[in-house]
Structure 1
Amino acid sequence: MNIKRIKYYSDFSRSSEISLFKRAGLIFCGVSLVTISLQLFLVGNFVIDGGIIGISILLSHITNQEIGLYLLILNAPFFLLAYSFLGRRFLMLSLFAITILSFGTHLLENFPVITHNPFLVIIFGGISLGLGVGITIRCGGCLDGTEVLAILFSKRSTFTIGQFILFFNLFIFGVSITILGFTEAIYSLATYLIAYKTIDITIQAH
């Protein structure tokens, strides 16, 4: 079941009911949700995502550089891997997604967060993040280098993409304790637990 589900995104040599134009439009919507989650809920409250995005947020806090710069630099090696194993169209859609994300985070860089309430940040930030990532993966792209590894690994195991991404992120959340603090790390983990479940629900939806 899981292998068939993964082939939906990775096997682009077969015909598809979704046109490339429609895929790009849906990915744009998904990435917009991720951008809103990051800039209007998470980053300003010192709550991080996992994966390369999480590392980029941590580096942004340390260096005061924009997140988008790190997103482009750190994701580059993984996108080359994506081209080798998942094909040219996957690479094109992923580059499109990460470009929109980088540009979107730049546009919203100076916008204030919507709320500082931890409960609302965790719930709305997590759902928006997970839904956006799930839509992007479902439409044949990805936003994060760790998602590439998760897609490849999930093809050869019974674990889902969301579960693999969660495993990768446990280490990142551990590191965030020393940079952002214990409370923020717990909030980050809680946010991602919601996001990771939303990713799997979005991907498996018919």
Structure 2
Amino acid sequence: MDAPAPARTMAVSTPSLRHSRLEDIQALCAGTLFVAMALVLFGQAGLLTGGTAGAAFLLHYTTGVGMGLCFFLLNLPFYGFAWKQMGGEFTIKTFAAIALLSVLTETAPRFVTIQALHPAFAAVFGGLMLGTGCLFLARHRASLGGATVVALYLQERRGWRAGKVQLAIDCSVLLAALAVVPPARVGWSVLGAMVMGGFLWINHRPGRYVGS
């Protein structure tokens, strides 16, 4: 007697669902607000982060120019690369997020003042908030420019994990900060970068999230 033929399993493919305009706006605002609050924590603890934001912190600490303005100006050279490699929609969303973050970074300290803040808490909680905000933006095809654009580009085109790339860039910037910032602050800042990079490494994998 012949054995019954094995039942065929039908592969069900889930189509990618595009985000609505309202969903994109909500994610851009929420993600940028998360990042802005993280930068407020870092600023009040005397810490900094990696990537373009870290370079903006260094300029802010050394020149006294507003951190938000430094961040906006440092990102200008990356828009051409983003437009060419990642597309117009990504670039426009990224520009909107950077402009909003620049404004929030300048205005938030007027409304948020923390009397006591241990750098360890600022590093860990701020790193988690940075990772969460960047994840919101990445899942809606946006970023905060600079190193994040490069990290997302390498993930999409080369399959490199964005968290790994971001962590490598961030640590490089923070090591360069030893020439300007006291070593203890740099050490806590490296912890924040590791928390952020680890969060993205675990939660932002190629192919895991199919929204666009």
TM-score by length of structure 1 reads: 0.86
Instruction: Report matched runs for 1:11-160 at 5 Å.
Output: 16-39=17-40, 41-110=41-110, 111-113=112-114, 115-160=116-161
How many Å separate the matches in 1 of 2:141 and 2:36?
19
Asked if the contact 1:135–1:203 (Cα under 8 Å) also holds between the matched residues in 2, the reply is no
140-149 or 192-201: bigger deviation: 192-201
Q: Deviations over 1:99-148 (max 9, x none)?
A: 11001011113442364212211221111111011111111100031111
Q: 1:27–1:202: structure 2 CA closer, same or farther, 3 Å change rule? A: farther
Asked if the contact 1:44–1:113 (Cα under 8 Å) also holds between the matched residues in 2, the reply is yes
Q: 1:158–1:88: structure 2 CA closer, same or farther, 3 Å change rule? A: closer
- In the TM superposition, residue 196 of structure 1 has moved relative to its aligned partner by 1.2
Q: Which has the larger radius of gyration?
A: 2
How many Å separate the matches in 2 of 1:45 and 1:154?
32
Asked if the contact 1:177–1:184 (Cα under 8 Å) also holds between the matched residues in 2, the reply is no
Quote the residue 2:5 is aligned against.
Answer: none
Quote the residue 2:190 is aligned against.
Answer: 189
How many Å separate the matches in 2 of 1:53 and 1:203?
20
Q: Deviations over 1:47-91 (max 9, x none)?
A: 111101000011001111111111111111112110111111101
How many Å separate the matches in 2 of 1:75 and 1:49?
15
Q: Deviations over 1:14-40 (max 9, x none)?
A: 97431122112111101000000101x
How many Å separate the matches in 1 of 2:131 and 2:22?
23
Q: Does 1:162 align with 2:163?
A: yes
Counterpart residue identity of residue 23, structure 1 = D
Counterpart residue identity of residue 158, structure 2 = S
Counterpart residue identity of residue 160, structure 2 = F
131-140 or 115-124: bigger deviation: 115-124
Q: Deviations over 1:136-168 (max 9, x none)?
A: 111110003111111222234343011111111
User: Which of the two has greater helix per residue?
Assistant: 1
Asked if the contact 1:146–1:168 (Cα under 8 Å) also holds between the matched residues in 2, the reply is yes
Q: Alignment RMSD, CA only?
A: 1.9
How many Å separate the matches in 1 of 2:174 and 2:113?
24
Asked if the contact 1:47–1:188 (Cα under 8 Å) also holds between the matched residues in 2, the reply is yes
Asked if the contact 1:134–1:198 (Cα under 8 Å) also holds between the matched residues in 2, the reply is no
TM-score by length of structure 2 reads: 0.84
Say which SS state the counterpart of residue 144 (structure 2) adopts.
Answer: coil
Asked if the contact 2:78–2:146 (Cα under 8 Å) also holds between the matched residues in 1, the reply is yes
**Which segments of 5 or more consecutive residues in structure 1 lack a partner in the other structure?**
1-13
Counterpart residue identity of residue 20, structure 1 = R
Percent sequence identity over aligned pairs: 22
How many Å separate the matches in 2 of 1:118 and 1:73?
28
